[in-house]
Structure 1
Amino acid sequence: MHILTIDTGTTNTRVTVWRDQQALCQAARQVGVRDTAISGSPVALQNGVRQTIAAALGDARLEIGQIDLVLGSGMITSNVGLHEVPHVLAPAGRDELAAAMVQAHIPEVCEPPVWFVPGVRNRVDNIGLHNVEAMDMMRGEEVETMGLVQRLGINKPTVIVLPGSHSKFVHLDENGCISGCVTTLAGELLHVITHNTILAGSLDSDFADEIDTEMLLAGARSAGKIGLGRACFTVRILDQFTIYERNARANFLLGAVLGADLLTLKNSSAFRMTPGTQFVVTGKAMLRESLALLVKHDDFFSGDIVVTTDEQQANLAGFGAIEVARARGLLA
């Protein structure tokens, strides 16, 4: 059985071709829902996804007529995507996501119909200033989460950490259902601070090369005590008046930004974080190892820490979408 999975985010689209649920090849393009938001038209997104599909099929030496199932997930299901699908309310697991899948025919993208996996949002009603912080949502991370539940055999309360431009913390209950999520701008903040502020000179406009545990922890402590803004400026002071080298200063900044995220977990009302909850940390090697170190050295957290391997998180969105489709009965 040949399956094609489409994973579209804000700025990028990845298409993976699968045979008997094994990934054959993947193609990617810098096109996402931002293009629709800017232009007000879905044409650029439609063309980009179609071209990405063609590239993936070409690498696999397959024709679109040989594809048995097409699955879409991520921001592709938003109001600026290819086909809007309402969020599923938490708590939601694989079965709830499967039941809410929607099929649509989009000839501008591909001839076969596409089955779309919905996103998930926190269960918060009558949103105002009194409860807005409890609200959060995801499109794309839900299939990644379901993929990790399957691959890692998660069967107890867990927080899955999905760092990126928008870092996502997903809380799972003991039944493997998403009970809530929290999003931060950690990745975007780190990028902007490193490249577009006065700290660019202190960091050579570059991120940390390797982990410096002492400086990473110091940055997190600083942000927790005096706030992220002051902790960031401390990087310039370290540059001007100390002997700490560039990588050490970059680690201090990284620790400050990620430490602020851990503070969010402790205090957010989006879900209730308990000290003994298991942590599963994904993402690029530098980020996942840094986060794991910060959690390990924070007395608040006492649960197990699982750091995924590159193999465990490979093609995660497509794999998770296939797991949801299996629950819907779409796989032979």
Structure 2
Amino acid sequence: MYIIIDCGSTNTRLYLVDQEKVKDKYEVAIGVNSTVSNGNNQQLKLTLTEAIKSLLNQNKLSLHDVDFAIASGMITSNLGLLEVPHLIAPVNINDFAQHTCEVEGNKVLPIDLPIIFIPGVKNDIGEATWDNIRKIDLMRGEETQAIGVISSMSLTLPATIVELGSTTKLIHINKEGAIAGSITSLSGQVYAAVRKETFINSSMIDSDSNTQDFYSTDILKYAYECVSKAGLLRSLLFTRFIQFSLSTTAAERKFYCESTIAADDMKLFDEAEEQGFSLTGDIIFIGNSKRCKIYQGMLKETKAIKNNIISITNPEEIAMLGIKGACYIAKNYTHEHCI
């Protein structure tokens, strides 16, 4: 029996696992952002320690009943509990099992429980220079989700995983089934900032309009054309302009705004091909169902992609990918202490 720790920027999820099956989970509203705001990771350490104890207590277990915890995500960064060096792509799923970082109890948390840290992955670009900054990319946490995909699904390789969250991240899986690299944009956070911090949001709100399920191929194409010719920032502003210039609903304007973000992200696929990432196999979209549909439609309309497309949009299924990845590593890891 062991505990999976999935630590992000603002939230951390803990899963109690027995025989590769989740028995219980516990979530706390803290992540590595607390290290930034506090100037140290003490609050993160204390909260995670209490969360582990709470998870065990609610299952009437003690520390002696679990063998270890296994952690991934930003918890392995300089803002987390222990900075673990990235592995350099390409990395196959068994490489992760051989390069985990095991820490004895009481070393990073004030609790007698060994913790296994899963390293992230960065692109192999050689020496970083201003000339090659477009090739720089890295991940922490997404690799574990990718391992869950690779280890549990039968894919046509090479494949591309498209993770749509606070960032958009393309992860290339080469024909050998290894993580060969990634390309990331800040699209999710940009959209959130537009909604929260700009007046554009007022053009997307209407209590009489259902904005959630609206979809329009025509608006999708117009959004792509606007971004291609006028750029993303000006195209975002059109969300406001069309409210007073065209007969439109809030649903149409919201869809247009979302489509401009997706249109700009189409450059990621161009970058992927330029960097040698083949787009000939399966494409797996992971994220919000509406956002996945917009990106898939944008790809088909603008890139003429006819690949087999797989969508994973159920939140529980998405969470299970990371769990499956961590379970795979937990089952195969080699005991190697790093501190």
* Structure 1 length-normalised TM: 0.92
Q: How big is the shift at 1:148?
A: 0.8
Q: How big is the shift at 1:325?
A: 2.3
Q: 1:278 matched to which residue of 2?
A: 282
For residues 274 and 228 of structure 1, the distance between their equivalents in structure 2, rounded to whole angstroms, comes to 26
Q: 2:68 matched to which residue of 1?
A: 69
Task: Note the 1:1-332 alignment, pairs <5 A.
Answer: 2-107=1-106, 108-204=109-205, 208-214=211-217, 215-267=219-271, 271-310=275-314, 312-328=317-333
Calculate percent identity across the aligned residue pairs.
24
Deviations 1:243-279 (A, max 9, x none): 2111111111111101211122213588434452421
For residues 187 and 154 of structure 2, the distance between their equivalents in structure 1, rounded to whole angstroms, comes to 28
* CA shift in 2, pair 1:286/1:26, >3 Å: farther
For residues 182 and 317 of structure 2, the distance between their equivalents in structure 1, rounded to whole angstroms, comes to 21
Cα RMSD after superposing both structures: 2.2
Q: How big is the shift at 1:22?
A: 1.0
For residues 123 and 161 of structure 2, the distance between their equivalents in structure 1, rounded to whole angstroms, comes to 16
Give the match's secondary structure for 1:24.
strand
* CA shift in 2, pair 1:270/1:42, >3 Å: farther
* CA shift in 2, pair 1:234/1:98, >3 Å: same
Give the match's secondary structure for 1:60.
coil
For residues 193 and 71 of structure 2, the distance between their equivalents in structure 1, rounded to whole angstroms, comes to 31
* CA shift in 2, pair 1:212/1:5, >3 Å: same
* CA shift in 2, pair 1:197/1:100, >3 Å: same
Give the match's secondary structure for 1:199.
helix
Q: How big is the shift at 1:300?
A: 4.2
Of 248-257 and 279-288, the range deviating more from structure 2:
279-288
* CA shift in 2, pair 1:300/1:271, >3 Å: farther
Unaligned runs of 5+ in 1: none
Unaligned runs of 5+ in 2: none
* CA shift in 2, pair 1:190/1:7, >3 Å: same
For residues 130 and 123 of structure 2, the distance between their equivalents in structure 1, rounded to whole angstroms, comes to 16
* Structure 2 length-normalised TM: 0.90
For residues 252 and 180 of structure 2, the distance between their equivalents in structure 1, rounded to whole angstroms, comes to 37
Q: How big is the shift at 1:135?
A: 0.6
For residues 217 and 172 of structure 1, the distance between their equivalents in structure 2, rounded to whole angstroms, comes to 29
Deviations 1:163-199 (A, max 9, x none): 1112211010011111110111111100111121120
